[in-house]
Structure 1
Amino acid sequence: MGSEHCPEIDISRDRFPFCIVWTPIPVLTWFFPVLGHMGVALSSGVIRDFAGPYFVSEDNMAFGKPTKYWQLKPTNALGGVSGWDRGVTEASDVYKGRMHNLFCDNCHSHVAMSLNLMHYDKSTRWNMVKLALLMLIYGKYVNFAGFLKTWIPFLVVASIAVAVALLV
């Protein structure tokens, strides 16, 4: 492919080309708002996410539509656009054969393997902790509703905890 142009993100159609996407996980994100579910999109914008044991979802994230995204540059993938798609596809194929483990081998690990396979930024040292931190720093909310969906439950839980602490 001659052009390395990034197609436009289309939030209304859930198309996030060359993006890592994130959405809250009910209850877990309510207590720890930086923890959530992650996926990675192909050049077409179609999202792939390791949604459970032996299952990689396509275009239907396990915990709902993305609330945050971080668009990366296909030129930083070995092989450009085709290298990006190959990395995402190969990682998805591997994860279709894996058991899900919340702490060790999860959706973040799937995204990390995608980036490692494409040698994104000339690196094979991507991991779930690095991705969680970078999504916190570089992730953009899809809109104000995405921000609220992430933070309102946490603020409610924190307010209740503070109220209970003050009553004791």
Structure 2
Amino acid sequence: MAFGKPVKYWKLDPSKVYSTGSNAWDTAVHDASEEYKHRMHNLCCDNCHSHVALALNLMRYDNSTSWNMVKLCFFSLLYGKYVSIGGFVKTWLPFVLFLGVIVTVVLTLHLR
């Protein structure tokens, strides 16, 4: 994993794969991985979320071929589960600290 161990996951339902073959899930994951072997991942446009979205489109997960990194991110936030309390803290503590610093600075400047 490029950024460390996973802290959150969204468990997908294999019965939502729209296909006639019994190995459609594995085939779609394999084909998406083959495609992404030749692509340069970048943080903003073509990243691991795009890779997963391609696999979901190939398998027509939930009878959809409109998966993209934004939709995947939204559903992961909505349906994802943290692996532990530590995973939750690792995800949100930096944001809360950053927000706290901004609020403190703004209030300090406003109260002067």
Identify whether the pair has TM-score above 0.5, normalized to the shorter chain: yes
Distance of 1:93 and 1:152 partners within structure 2: 36
2:10 alignment counterpart? 70
Aligned residue for 1:122, secondary structure, equals: coil
Say whether residues 1:84 and 2:84 are aligned partners: no
When Rg is computed on C-alpha atoms for both structures, the one with the higher figure is 2
Identity %: 58
Distance of 1:69 and 1:132 partners within structure 2: 11
Distance of 2:21 and 2:86 partners within structure 1: 33
C-alpha contact (below 8 Å) 1:74/1:81 kept by paired residues:
no
Distance of 2:8 and 2:76 partners within structure 1: 8
Match of 2:37 among 73, 86, 96: 96
1:124 alignment counterpart? 65
2:54 alignment counterpart? 113
Distance of 1:81 and 1:139 partners within structure 2: 26
Aligned residue for 2:46, secondary structure, equals: coil
Q: Which has more helix, going by share of residues?
A: 2
Provide closer, same or farther for how the CA distance between residues 80 and 68 of structure 1 changes in structure 2, counting only shifts above 3 A.
Answer: farther
Q: Give the letter aligned to residue 155 of structure 1.
A: V
Please identify, of 103-112 and 81-90, the stretch whose mean Cα deviation from structure 2 is larger: 81-90
How far the C-alpha of 1:81 sits from its partner, in A, is: 5.9
Q: With CA pairs under 8 Å and 6+ residues apart, which has the higher RCO, 1 or 2?
A: 2
Provide closer, same or farther for how the CA distance between residues 90 and 110 of structure 1 changes in structure 2, counting only shifts above 3 A.
Answer: same
Provide closer, same or farther for how the CA distance between residues 81 and 69 of structure 1 changes in structure 2, counting only shifts above 3 A.
Answer: farther
Distance of 2:28 and 2:53 partners within structure 1: 10
Distance of 2:99 and 2:21 partners within structure 1: 44
Gaps of 5+ in 2: none
Aligned residue for 1:65, secondary structure, equals: coil
Distance of 2:104 and 2:72 partners within structure 1: 34
Say whether residues 1:138 and 2:84 are aligned partners: no
Q: Which has more strand, going by share of residues?
A: 1
Say whether residues 1:148 and 2:89 are aligned partners: yes
Alignment coverage as a number of residue pairs: 108
How far the C-alpha of 1:100 sits from its partner, in A, is: 2.0
